[in-house]
Amino acid sequence: MSDSATWTHEGFEMVVGLEVHVELATETKLFSGSPNRFGDDPNTNIDPVSLGLPGALPVLNRQAVELAMRIGLALNCTVQSCTFARKNYFYPDMPKAYQISQYDRPLNIDGHLEIADGIVIGVERAHVEEDTGKSTHIGGSGRIHGSEGSLIDFNRAGVPLVEIVSRPDIRTPEQARQYVNELRAILLEIGASDARMEEGSMRVDANVSVRHPGEEFGTRCEIKNVNSVRSLGRAIDYEARRQVALISDGGVIQQETRHWDEGDGRTHTLRTKEDADDYRYFPDPDLVPLDPGDEWINTVRSQLPMLPAARRIRLAEVTGQSADSEAIATVVERRQDDYVVAVVEIGGGAERVLVHVKEAFSEQGSEPSVPAVDLAALVAMEVGGELTSTQTKTLLGDLVEQGGGDPKAMAAARGFEAMDTSELDGFVDDAIAADPDAWAKFCAGDGKAMGALVGHVMKASRGQADGKAVTAILNSRRG
Amino acid sequence: MSTFQSARSIAASVSTGESSAVDVVSQHLARIEEREEEVHAFNLVLRDEALQSAERIDERIAAGEQVGPLAGVPIALKDNLCTRGIPTTCSSNILDGWRPPYDATVVSRLADAGAVFVGKTNLDEFAMGSSTENSAFGPTRNPLDTSRVPGGSSGGSAAAVAAGFSAMSLGSDTGGSIRQPAALCGVVGVKPTYGAVSRLGLIAFASSLDQIGPFTHDVADAALLLECMAGHDPGDSTSIPQPFPSLSESLDRGVAGLRIGRIVDLPSGADADVVASVDRAFEVLADAGAEIIDVTIPAFTYGLTAYYLIAPAEASSNLARYDGVRFGSRVEAADTNSMYMATRGEGFGPEVKRRIMLGTYALSAGYYDAYYGKALKVRRLMAQDFATAYESVDALVTPASPSVAFPFGSKTSDPLAMYLCDTYTIPSNLIGHPAMSVPFGAGENDLPIGVQVLAPAMGEPTMFAVAAELERSAGGNHV
């Protein structure tokens, strides 16, 4: 059985931990003054430090540390005094042939993240490190093996990263997706990263093993090249099934790094443990220990915005909906909840406001173009019976298109004036006269016949009649 | 001993217009012309550049400008200091063709003080050696006896001053690479407190040990040069964020009332003539009013071993960037790994390779704790032992080098014998304290002997007071 809540396969459960790399949204690189900007011409945002030129020295970027601390605090980590270490390995887009990272003393440790249904995923650490350059392999398959040549863009070299390492607490593909989605929402909320998986500013590797529940952890494989949240679920599911099948056939899982192939939907061996580099970590002698100190930590903590989980709870309270509802999740994900709260504060109609924002503002950002007062006025008209729901939708479309406006004037311009009862009575008379059969059936108790009569009224009133009011008149006439 | 004009007197006469910078520089260039073929102090003589900058200095002085405390002083730079647009080789084939796009901080500071750079001096490849025999461009000869080495690794800089090619020079000292060649060439050489002089633009050998320092004819010139180059640099994270103390008052202070330590458990191995000079130094200091106090530094004897793990470990990482990808020489090969191996195999000399292998091994998984980790413990122990000694003394005096200048080839076949040259100099690097060698007496074949003065971190004023006293008592090197 495998659904969103549980995943078991031939009696095995999956055990998954995620390593998420996020690029920090700093002005400049982690150890130099070159701009941290995606999409510029190759090798324009470089300097002696980014290129690892002889004699160049790193100087730590304070903004990067602050954003990394925000991540740690938002994930309930302990922020501690820490050191930088060198991770040594040769690769053409790794300028110094070592990456400055954190090893035995990371900045953030021992945090957690809560996903749906109160499930808590532990966060082992969230450490600071620098990104590498980017290789483009010319010819062949596009991978380094068999290519004719490689071009290297060092714009990304030295861009600050935080690697967030979860504990192996994830048991289903859905939990993995929820973890990444929630993490992404947090990163966006705290302004630490734009967290775009497709642009590579958020990269997810998964450590997957399987076991019979209650047993020791199995041997894990690390899955790389997962480029979307959807792929993450697929890759984990595939990998866990592969491992179960192998064990069931009497095989043994080898610790290795595997590459997810989006095309064939499988993972493939990238390198085995024997081929793994010995990174020879040691403290980077070019940098001094970093001790953020209580004062800085407390300042950063006090400046943290309301996080998505708290936002969902607040929006649920304001709108009277369940915090788990799709509308709440969607609006908070789009970061439009502040807006909804503001509209509701002006004019009430919370449930309608939530629906309208969810339905009509999907293309809008966290600050919709329609001023809150305008949406509040529209909802007030709707709730007050001045507009039908159809009319409201039409006007909402106009508001979005025009970036706001006075709903009363717009209603008048559209000719959406609420009809008084005598006018409606006239339309109902006409409808009964036009379709006496329907009226007879309706009077005889055929509820479906009412639709035809209402349709007549709507057509005659060019959609301006309030369907509910028409129904009420018909019912009262039938007696 | 020295018959050459001091930098102070050059700067004074150039500043007042008494002599022209062009004349001063021309005199030094003439001496280079005369003896450089024999001595080979330089990898590159900056003849035209030096004359041009001397002309500019003369013009500025004629225009009434203040040029600075080093106005018109010819200075030679060790060829591991980056000079913008000028080849910087570390005496290695692997940097063939590389021109740094920037000046080291010390280079710009000295230029701002009015210095004229006459050339880039030879060194043991990547500063690894004690005789300058490890240069890819051939050895430097000791100007005092050209059948002997000048010491190393800053042998070219020591020889340049000793031969009168420049009034001052800069070297770098990782385990004694300034003090030992200063001793062997009969000049003053200083390794400042770690962090007193910016390492930005110094091509790293072992970052936690490297420090740039002066070679001069006398102690007062060394004080002047150090004052011009020391002081906080935000571009070097390990730079001390405090003003560097003034040294000029120390020179005439004398040693009355100072407590000077004699290390009774100093490792043996110094030649008798060297031991005799150091003994006489203590007598002279006592006569001048210092109190000589016996101290023990048990960890001193482990310094060499710890150094030959820590320095190669850092070097193995620092020198990984010479991979043929971005700069310097590249040997083309079929694939990336073969290119790395061919480039590094051809580009590095045997001593550099030996140390890269030593360091890689010391940091490897399974060996780290036994080697690098243990060396770090020795380093901490060393710091404690020195701190204890400095509770009862203000400075320490030891030999700088175990012997006077030795003949070419006498230690090249035995790396360990060569490593022993650094026995007395290494501890100061391991603990970041200042130390300097001052010529004091002569030994075999009337070759100069250097006495080393050590002081606690930022204790340069005391160290210079003691060195100046030794210089006065030795008959002085003043003109």
Is residue B91 a contact partner of residue B135, using CB atoms and an 8 Å limit?
yes
Q: In this prediction, what percent of chain A has a pLDDT beyond 90?
A: 71
- Return the pLDDT at A477: 83
* Residue A246 to residue B311: CA distance in whole angstroms: 48
Is residue B392 a contact partner of residue B147, using CB atoms and an 8 Å limit?
no
Q: Which residues contact A259 (CB under 8 A, 6 or more apart)?
A: A223, A224, A225, A267, A268, A269, A270
Task: Kindly list the residues from chain B whose CB atom is less than 8 angstroms away from the CB atom of residue A55.
Answer: 81-82, 88, 100, 102, 104, 200-204
3-state helix, strand, coil in chain A (%, to 5): 40, 20, 40
* Residue B196 to residue B231: CA distance in whole angstroms: 6
Q: In this prediction, what percent of chain B has a pLDDT beyond 70?
A: 99
* Domain contains B306: no
- Return the pLDDT at B87: 98
- 3-state SS, one letter per residue, for A431-476: HHHHCHHHHHHHHCCCCHHHHHHHHHHHHHCCCCCCHHHHHHHHHH
Task: Indicate if the alpha-carbon torsion angle A61, A64, A70, A75 is positive or negative.
Answer: negative
- Return the pLDDT at A4: 55
Is residue A169 a contact partner of residue A61, using CB atoms and an 8 Å limit?
no
Active-site pick, B153, B154, B169, B316: B153
* Domain contains B286: no
* Domain contains B15: yes
* Residue B114 to residue A330: CA distance in whole angstroms: 67
Task: Kindly list the residues from chain A whose CB atom is less than 8 angstroms away from the CB atom of residue B91.
Answer: none
A266-272 and A256-261 beta bridge pairing: antiparallel
Could you say which of B203, B320, B327 has the minimum Cβ distance to residue A88? B320
Could you say which of A92, A278, A285 has the minimum Cβ distance to residue B208? A285
Whether A285 sits inside 8 A of B207 (CB atoms) is: yes
Whether A48 sits inside 8 A of B208 (CB atoms) is: no
* Residue A48 to residue A269: CA distance in whole angstroms: 36
Distance from CA of A90 to the nearest CA of B (A): 8
- Return the pLDDT at A132: 96
pLDDT band at B476 (very low <50, low <70, confident <90, very high): very low
Residue of A59, A138, A282 to mutate, interface with B, max B Cβ within 10 Å: A282
Whether A286 sits inside 8 A of B316 (CB atoms) is: no
Average pLDDT on A201-206 reads: 96
Whether A280 sits inside 8 A of B365 (CB atoms) is: yes
| 3-state class (DSSP) for residue A291 | coil
Helices (H), B113-271: 155-162, 179-185, 219-229
Average pLDDT on B231-251 reads: 96
Tens of pLDDT, residue by residue over B6-51, are 999 999 999 999 999 999 999 999 999 999 999 999 999 999 999 9
Total tally of structural domains belonging to chain B: 1
Tens of pLDDT, residue by residue over A86-139, are 999 999 999 999 999 999 999 999 999 999 888 999 999 999 999 999 998 887
Task: Kindly list the residues from chain A whose CB atom is less than 8 angstroms away from the CB atom of residue B200.
Answer: 55-57
- Return the pLDDT at A145: 72
Tens of pLDDT, residue by residue over A304-330, are 999 999 999 999 999 999 888 899 999
Cα–Cα distances (Å) from B336 to A150, B137, B321, B324, in that order, read: 10, 28, 14, 10
Whether A285 sits inside 8 A of B323 (CB atoms) is: no
Task: Kindly list the residues from chain A whose CB atom is less than 8 angstroms away from the CB atom of residue B321.
Answer: 52, 54, 95-97
Which residue in chain A has the smallest CA separation from B372? A282
Average pLDDT on A297-306 reads: 97
Whether B364 sits inside 8 A of A48 (CB atoms) is: no
* Domain contains B58: yes
Contact residues of A toward B, CB < 8 A: 48, 51-60, 86, 88, 90, 92, 95-98, 144, 150, 152, 278, 280-282, 285-288
Active-site pick, B2, B78, B172, B403: B78
Contact residues of B toward A, CB < 8 A: 81-82, 88, 90, 95, 98, 100-102, 104, 199-204, 206-208, 234-238, 313-314, 316-317, 320-321, 323, 325-327, 336-337, 340, 360, 363-365, 368, 372
Active-site annotation holds for B108: no
pLDDT band at B63 (very low <50, low <70, confident <90, very high): very high
Task: Kindly list the residues from chain B whose CB atom is less than 8 angstroms away from the CB atom of residue A286.
Answer: 204, 207, 237-238
* Domain contains B12: yes
- Return the pLDDT at B478: 36
Q: Which two tokens stand for residue B286?
A: 């006592």
Q: Which helix (H) or strand (E) holds A130?
A: strand A120-130
Whether A54 sits inside 8 A of B100 (CB atoms) is: yes
pLDDT surpasses 60 at B2: no
A221-226 and A202-211 beta bridge pairing: antiparallel
Domain boundaries, chain A: 8-301, 308-414, 421-478
pLDDT surpasses 70 at B196: yes
Which is nearest to B120 in space by CA: B68, B186, B39, B44?
A: B44
Residue of A34, A53, A93, A150 to mutate, interface with B, max B Cβ within 10 Å: A53
Which of A62-66, A136-140, B225-229, B283-287 is predicted least confidently? Answer: A136-140
β-strand partners of B202: B81
* Residue B223 to residue A474: CA distance in whole angstroms: 106
Tens of pLDDT, residue by residue over B441-470, are 999 999 999 999 999 999 999 999 999 999
Distance from CA of B345 to the nearest CA of A (A): 15
Could you say which of A53, A97, A152 has the minimum Cβ distance to residue B327? A53
Tell how far CA B410 is from the center of its chain: 22
Residue of B78, B323, B368, B369 to mutate, interface with A, max A Cβ within 10 Å: B323
Peptide linkage before B153 cis (omega within 30 of 0):
yes
pLDDT surpasses 70 at B266: yes
If one counts every other C-beta atom within 10 angstroms of the C-beta of residue B466, the result is 30
Task: Kindly list the residues from chain B whose CB atom is less than 8 angstroms away from the CB atom of residue A86.
Answer: 317
Helices (H), A256-307: 293-302
Which residue in chain B has the smallest CA separation from A285? B208
Q: In this prediction, what percent of chain B has a pLDDT beyond 90?
A: 95
Distance from CA of B418 to the nearest CA of A (A): 26
* Residue B333 to residue A85: CA distance in whole angstroms: 32
| 3-state class (DSSP) for residue B379 | helix
Q: How many CB pairs under 8 A join A and B?
A: 99
Q: Which residues contact A273 (CB under 8 A, 6 or more apart)?
A: A254, A255, A256
Residue of B84, B321, B376 to mutate, interface with A, max A Cβ within 10 Å: B321
* Domain contains B218: yes
Active-site annotation holds for B177: yes
* Residue B203 to residue B185: CA distance in whole angstroms: 24
Helices (H), B152-255: 155-162, 179-185, 219-229
Q: Which two tokens stand for residue B101?
A: 């796009």
pLDDT surpasses 70 at A418: no
Distance from CA of A367 to the nearest CA of B (A): 40
Rounded to the nearest 10 degrees, the angle between the axes of helix A62-74 and helix A173-189 is: 130
Could you say which of A54, A150, A287 has the minimum Cβ distance to residue B203? A54
From the candidate CATH numbers 3.40.50.620, 3.90.110.10, 3.40.50.720, 1.10.10.410, the one assigned to the domain spanning A421-478: 1.10.10.410
Distance from CA of B26 to the nearest CA of A (A): 31
Task: Kindly list the residues from chain A whose CB atom is less than 8 angstroms away from the CB atom of residue B364.
Answer: 278, 280
Is residue A11 a contact partner of residue A243, using CB atoms and an 8 Å limit?
no
Which is nearest to B214 in space by CA: B109, B100, B90?
A: B109
- Return the pLDDT at A254: 93
Amino acid (1-letter code) at residue B186? G
Distance from CA of A345 to the nearest CA of B (A): 51
Q: In this structure, what CATH number is given to the domain that contains residue B235?
A: 3.90.1300.10
Distance from CA of A269 to the nearest CA of B (A): 20
Compute the mean pLDDT over every residue in chain B, rounded to the nearest whole number.
Answer: 96
Task: Kindly list the residues from chain B whose CB atom is less than 8 angstroms away from the CB atom of residue A60.
Answer: 237
Cβ burial of A435 (10 Å; 0-12, 13-18, 19+) is: middle
Pairwise pLDDT comparison (A471 vs B388), residue with the higher score? B388
Average pLDDT on A284-299 reads: 98
Distance from CA of A153 to the nearest CA of B (A): 11
Whether B364 sits inside 8 A of A280 (CB atoms) is: yes
Q: In this prediction, what percent of chain A has a pLDDT beyond 70?
A: 97
Which residue in chain B has the smallest CA separation from A88? B317
* Residue A415 to residue A395: CA distance in whole angstroms: 11
Whether B368 sits inside 8 A of A282 (CB atoms) is: yes
pLDDT surpasses 50 at A1: no
Active-site pick, B92, B169, B177, B316: B177
* Residue A149 to residue A144: CA distance in whole angstroms: 8
Whether B200 sits inside 8 A of A57 (CB atoms) is: yes
* Residue A152 to residue B323: CA distance in whole angstroms: 14
pLDDT surpasses 70 at B438: yes
Active-site annotation holds for B153: yes
Which residue in chain B has the smallest CA separation from A92? B325
- 3-state SS, one letter per residue, for A86-114: EEECCCCCCCCCEEEECCCCCCEEEEEEE
Tens of pLDDT, residue by residue over B383-433, are 999 999 999 999 999 999 999 999 999 998 888 888 899 999 999 999 999
Distance from CA of B40 to the nearest CA of A (A): 24
CA dihedral B277, B279, B281, B284 (to 10 degrees): -130
pTM, 2 dp: 0.90
Q: State which residues form the domain around B64.
A: 7-250
